[in-house]
A and B are shown apart, each in its own frame.
Chain A
Amino acid sequence: MADRTEDAAVRLTEYADLHGCSCKVGQSDLDDLLGEAGLTQSRDELLFGVGEDAAARKLTDDLALVSTVDFFTPIIDDPYDFGRVAACNAASDAFATGASDNLDCLVVLGLPQELTDVAPSVLAGIADAIDGMGGAVAGGHTIISPWPFAGGAVSATAPPDTLLTSQGASAGDRLYLTKPLGSQSAMGALRVSDDEFADVVADAAGRPINQIGDEALAWMTTPNRAAAIAGRDLATAATDITGFGLVGQAEVLADNSGVGVELTRLPVIAGTEGLSALFGYGLEDGASAETSGGLLLSVPAARSADLESRLDDAGVFYRQVGRVTDGSGVSLDEPTIEPISR
């Protein structure tokens, strides 16, 4: 770790050893934890809950309340940008269920004592991001913590019959991803872009690191709201891509839906494929952690043209990245890696 006292400017990422969604507890550890705590059973009073991106409760025949909480350690040094990414990531779990109305966010914030002066900037980033999604910051809770973290408890509503989970994918569905991958490699490169390895990192990227970082930030602060609305009544299942990476999230979808997933294409932020090879992050295997990634939408072939048309109209990035099979698990065999520039 760098000597924090030498830096005049605050570098938030130096205050935590794990960054962004990389700090997420692994799927198998989480499964063990839920099992030990007796929290694996579905609850009659909920439409869905544990094991999904968010929980949903049916309030009336026309209205369901979706709630979720998500927070993580700094993925980026700038406090305002960290707030924006954290808010976007927290709301993404609600959007993955298709809920996009009446969005409220209760801020969850933890900062070391010596960093409390950045709190207004983090909060402003969260507030601006939530405002941009048509939502409201409705309160929150702030603590002193050795590692900084930020996020929120997000609630939103939707008609119950439009809600999506990871359980509805069917063989023959096409799988769409609504953001390119590579945020982990982009942010990792920024952390070493001014140290002794700057040259080798720049060579591996083949593009200016700052440009890759700016593009990654732009993707991480793009809300999944428009993608969620486009998928309404068309998708059969959805999840968002976070710390488990594309393959990890696809495994959750495959297991929960009782299907197989065949991944054939990996859109990546241009330059991150070379960075990942240098860092050993596994982007080319779909294994790298993503922070505030896109939605993975499972859509029957007959409806895919409608989905693409809606996504085009809404200006949402998308690629078909694979398909659902009647097998099990996830396969990724020499996928086409497509560099994406904004």
Chain B
Amino acid sequence: MTRVDVSGEVCPRPALIVRRELSELEAGDRLLVRGDYPPAERNLCRMCRKRGFSVAKSEDGSDGDTFELTIEVTEDAEIPEA
């Protein structure tokens, strides 16, 4: 699983960094995202789900402001261009 850490990044950069990572993936791949900027979690979930990606929040990796999301590239996902 690919991992990307957007801790210390403020919106809208987390969405742009994750988008860049997603452009490298194919259907079936998963991306683990860690971050610590509270609005980024909601914005990342929204950005990914609107494009057809599946997003799950990891309760283990989420503590306080820190969050951890697993994004899965579904068959229908609209993979961004690099």
Instruction: Identify the A interface with B (CB < 8 A).
Output: 1, 17-18, 22, 188-189, 191-192, 195, 197, 200-201, 277-282
Contact = CB atoms under 8 A, between A and B. Distances in A.
15 contacts: A1-B8, A191-B12, A277-B47, A278-B12, A278-B15, A278-B19, A278-B47, A279-B11, A280-B12, A280-B15, A280-B46, A280-B47, A281-B12, A281-B43, A282-B46
A279 B12 contact: yes
7 nearest A-B pairs in the assembled complex, by CB-CB distance: A280-B47, A280-B43, A279-B12, A280-B46, A188-B12, A197-B16, A280-B15
Contacts of A195: 13
Contact of B12 (A1, A17, A18, A189): A189
The secondary structure that dominates the B interface is helix
B28 to A, nearest CB: 23
B10 A200 contact: no
Interface string B54-74: 000000000000000000000
Contacts of B16: 192, 197, 200-201, 278-279
A200 B18 CA distance: 13
Nearest to A280: B47
B44 A280 contact: yes
Contacts of B11: 188, 279, 281
A195 B16 CA distance: 11
Interface residues of B, number: 19
Interface string B14-52: 011001100000000000000001010011111110100
Contact of B50 (A191, A201, A277): A277
Contacts of B44: 280
Interface of B: 8, 10-13, 15-16, 19-20, 37, 39, 42-48, 50
B39 A18 contact: yes
A279 B47 contact: yes
A189 B12 CA distance: 8
A279 B43 contact: yes
Nearest to B36: A17
A192 B8 contact: no
A218 to B, nearest CB: 21
A192 B48 CA distance: 20
Given A192-B16, A197-B20, A201-B16, 11 more contacts: A17-B37, A188-B11, A191-B12, A192-B13, A197-B13, A278-B12, A279-B47, A280-B48, A281-B11, A281-B46, A282-B46
Nearest to A275: B12
A17 B11 CA distance: 9
Contacts of A282: 43, 46
Nearest to A16: B10
Given A17-B37, A22-B39, A280 B10 contact: no
A201 B11 CA distance: 13
Contacts of A278: 12, 15-16, 19, 47
Given A278-B47, A280-B47, A200 B12 contact: no
A278 B11 CA distance: 11
A280 B35 CA distance: 15
Contacts of B45: 280
B15 A1 contact: no
A281 B11 CA distance: 9
Contacts of B19: 200, 278
B1 to A, nearest CB: 21
Contacts of A200: 16, 19
Contacts of A189: 12
Contact of A1 (B10, B39, B42, B46): B10
